């Protein structure tokens, strides 16, 4: 998700991703494998860079930078969903076509 942010370190990316996904501050440190002191330093850096505020809410800048839509889902979610919906629709059309051919074959034989 935050791979396209070269200005952030790996730890900063980890913390930012977890904040964007709604994780609470008491699980951030353990989720990223860092200490609470290190977490405070990372949060300060993310606030200075404008990605989050002091209440650990992502800023509009973070959502724009990561190409999230409506601050809810990343753009990749919509692209993948559209791809799978199209695949299901094409599959349904193919099944319908074969059912029509089978129905016509049975109808014309009688």
For 40-73, write each residue's pLDDT tens digit: 999 999 999 998 898 888 888 887 777 655 555 5
pLDDT higher than 60, residue 110: yes
Which range scores top for mean pLDDT: 5-9, 60-64, 101-105?
Answer: 101-105
- C-alpha 66/C-alpha 64 separation (Å) is 5
Residue 93: per-residue pLDDT: 95
The torsion angles phi and psi of 71, rounded to 5 degrees, stand at 65, 20
Residue 99: per-residue pLDDT: 96
Give CATH for domain 1-66: 1.10.10
103 membership: H or E segment, kind and range? helix 75-109
pTM value is 0.58
């Amino acid at each position: 998700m935050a791979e396209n942010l070269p200005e952030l370190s790996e730890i900063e990316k980890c913390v930012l991703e977890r904040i964007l996904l709604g994780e609470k501050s008491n699980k951030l440190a353990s989720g990223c494998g860092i200490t609470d002191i290190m977490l405070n330093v990372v949060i300060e850096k993310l606030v200075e860079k404008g990605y989050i505020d002091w209440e650990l809410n992502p800023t509009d800048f973070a959502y724009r930078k990561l190409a999230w839509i409506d601050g809810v889902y990343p753009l990749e979610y919509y692209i993948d969903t559209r791809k799978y919906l199209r695949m299901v629709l094409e599959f349904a059309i193919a099944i319908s076509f074969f059912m029509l051919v089978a129905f016509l074959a049975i109808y014309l034989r009688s």
